[in-house]
Amino acid sequence: MKTRVRAIIIRDNKVLFIHRIKENEEYWVFPGGGVEESDESFEGALIRECTEELGIKVKVGQLFCSNQIKMQEKGIVEMFFFCEQIGGILGTGTGPEYKNGEGYTGRHLLEWIELGSLSLHDVRPRAISEKLFKEVN
């Protein structure tokens, strides 16, 4: 089973998301990605992913929850951690989202969404955004 790590970054009662716009889809996801063999820990993977996707350095905090999903017939466990930005500049990532010709499709926009308006957006996974709203708001 593959493992992914996701960052929950909250500032001024807003949550940071990646707004994905593809051909016929528009949705928001928590920043993060897959744990690689070179990662020493889940926390290390999340620090790497936030640098690549967001351009920031984070301090990984408490595990909020985990979620099992099935994608393309494979099981995936996603682990959601609270994180705090401790350096870097948002939007200066080094991942394929920021490079032309890397095979990345669609748009990748960084957006802060008010905790109270999460239900107005297609946040994926929905169950995690609902749990976050109930427990943090």
**What is the tens place of the pLDDT at every residue in 88-137?**
999 998 877 766 666 667 788 999 999 999 999 999 999 999 999 999 87
55 vs 97, residue with greater confidence: 55
Mean per-residue pLDDT of the chain: 91
* Full-model pTM: 0.92
pLDDT above 90 (res 28): yes
Domains, the chain, ranges and CATH?
2-136 (3.90.79.10)
Residue with tokens 């929905």: 126
Identify the pLDDT of residue 106: 78
Measured from the Cβ of residue 97, the count of other Cβ atoms closer than 10 Å reads: 18
